[in-house]
Amino acid sequence: MTMLPTVADAQAFIDRAEAELLKLYTLQQRAQWIHETYITDDSELLAAGWNDRAIARVTELINEGRRFESLNLPPDLRRKFLLLKLSLTMPAPKDAKLREELTQVAASLDGSYGKGKICPGGDKEPCLGIDDLEERLATNRNPSDILNLWTEWHKVGAPMRDRYARFVELSNQGARELGYADTGALWRAGYDMTPEQFSGDLERVWNQVEPLYKELHTYVRRKLIEKYGAAARRTDGMIPAHLLGNMWAQEWGNIYDIVAPPAAPPSYDIGEILRQRRTTAKQIVQYGEGFFQSLGLQTLPDTFWERSMLTRPADREVVCHASAWHIDLDQDVRLKMCLHGTTEDFIVVHHELGHIYYFLAYRNQPVLFCNGANDGFHEAIGDVIALSITPEYLKKIGLIETIPPPSADLPILLRTALDKIAFLPFGLMIDKWRWEVFSGELKPADYNKEWWRLREQYQGVAPPVERTEADFDPGAKYHIPANVPYIRYFLARIYQFQFYRAMGQVAGYTGPLNRCSVFGSKAAGERLESMLALGQSKPWQEAMLGMTGQECIDASAMMEYFEPLLVWLKEQNKGEKIGWTVPANSLTAR
């Protein structure tokens, strides 16, 4: 006679699973670290092998755990079973051969991006990876040079198309075997609400911020036309994607010099200050560490400095895309990026250290709770700190000597909006495209067409040269070949202002929100760390409530922060056509 499982059996199963997952995860992370910091055929195969083992075992554990689904489990235990089921962003088929194929395809896509290079100077100059290209795009103002860099880099995606389509097939099969309609449905199940509620929240928040984005778009478009003339002018009102200072037109801060108000008082350039002082990569990271320490959080472990990769090595290929790593779910935390000492680097360091401090805060949670309240929380934490990089803060740490007058607030707000607000539609459309791909609504034959339709609809940007289905422009964006869910970044842009306003209130700040810095506030640090320490042990709505007093995502804090800018933009845009028209054919440059 078969004995029915008990709650005690379920608890024992989860305890064993967590112990096994910790060992497996640590080995997988080490293999992946080696692959991304030492790209070779061997490291690619090793990473794929460990990914295969991890996915195989997690899939087995999920299926083994199904026998406990009918039990009336305590809330924490039931949550662990749910999070186990949702832990695979790349679900794989049970069939060993298909699972191995999936992990190998995934590793090859990641490697293709990491090894991607263009050689704009032929044999006369060294070939450039994406980090070098981003640096050039940030400062180059020659439209033909910019167009060449954009066009050449986007060729990196074309060879990925067939492999990506196969990746989608295999991942979807794995998702269906776990009981989900497709991989996108699995991803959307991780937000403690129904997919319909989640989609509704996204549209509600986008409607809150869209008017500000359209005003910003209109202003930037006019300034670009003044700068570049015919190269920037389109009859449909969209902006050519290559002119915005970023390879994907996702953030526009690099073109601040083009759009800065003409009467703006002198300000500062953090990157230039760092270069003049010959600030090392380690010193840049130490600025970020110092901010978290000022809030009362711990110093970074010695192993962080010993094991992180902060600059591009001269002797090997690496993936330079900035990322934070939690190798052993304890204190082996690492940062991987190729610092050049730019203003963006200074901000990105704070962002990535947000992940690191989240890791350290929840490391004492059970294995299945060692994660952010949701993935958007993880992305928001460092950005909360970056919002506090105000002139007052920069003076306190000795990077500037004088604080710009209040009349400089608008230029600073504009500079911030070029990244924070400009990013929102891009952050929304990436996974909208991918969810269509995973659901089968979008077929491989139309991958590029739909990519640009969504970019035109949400961003109002268009390809600078004709695109066809011989291209695969999604592959030129790291998160697509690397299979990193992206809606987290959209959520994070909203959450960070909610967290920032709440921390400012706790710190006793009462002035305009855009001037708030919580640097040095132990009270704000305590509020922050209490949320971080929860990990994923509670639904994110509870973590949000404890941090902000709200239980939902809300863009009112973001709109409060940028209210002076919105008023100013409306004044600048008088007489201009606000917005753009999406053409019928999304692949043709005009």
Question: 322, 417, 502, 524: which one is catalytic?
Answer: 322
Q: Are strands 323-326 and 239-240 parallel, antiparallel or unpaired?
A: unpaired
Active site includes 355? yes
What string of DSSP letters covers 146-172? Answer: HHHHHHHHGGGTGGGHHHHHHHHHHHH
The active-site residue out of 101, 479, 502, 555 is 479
- Structure-token pair, residue 504: 């400012």
> Are the CB atoms for 87 and 58 separated by under 8 Å?
yes
Q: Is 352 an annotated catalytic residue?
A: yes
CA–CA distance, 466 with 590 (Å, rounded to integer): 8
The owner of tokens 């015919």 is 230
Pair 484, 478: CB distance under 8 Å: yes
Q: Is 321 a catalytic residue?
A: yes
Question: How buried is residue 510: exposed, middle or buried, by Cβ count under 10 Å (0-12/13-18/19+)?
Answer: exposed
Q: What is the C-alpha to C-alpha distance for residues 55 and 113, in angstroms, rounded to an integer?
A: 22
Q: Give catalytic status of residue 509 as yes or no.
A: no
DSSP-derived pairing of the beta strands 461-462 and 239-240? parallel
Which residue stretches of 456-510 are H helix? 487-506
500 tagged catalytic: no
Question: Could you tell me where the DSSP H helices lie in 38-72?
Answer: 41-65
* List 352, 436, 450, 529, catalytic entry: 352
What sign for the dihedral angle of Cα 356, 357, 358, 364? positive
Note if 379 is an active site residue.
yes
CA dihedral sign, ordered 427, 449, 221, 321: positive
Active-site choice (154, 217, 321, 326)? 321
Report helix, strand or coil for 230.
helix
538 with 368: CB under 8 angstroms? no
Sequence-ordered list of residues with C-beta below 8 angstroms from that of 169, at least 6 positions apart, any chain: none
Question: Annotated catalytic, 350?
Answer: no
**Active-site amino acid positions:** 321-322, 351-352, 355, 379, 479, 489
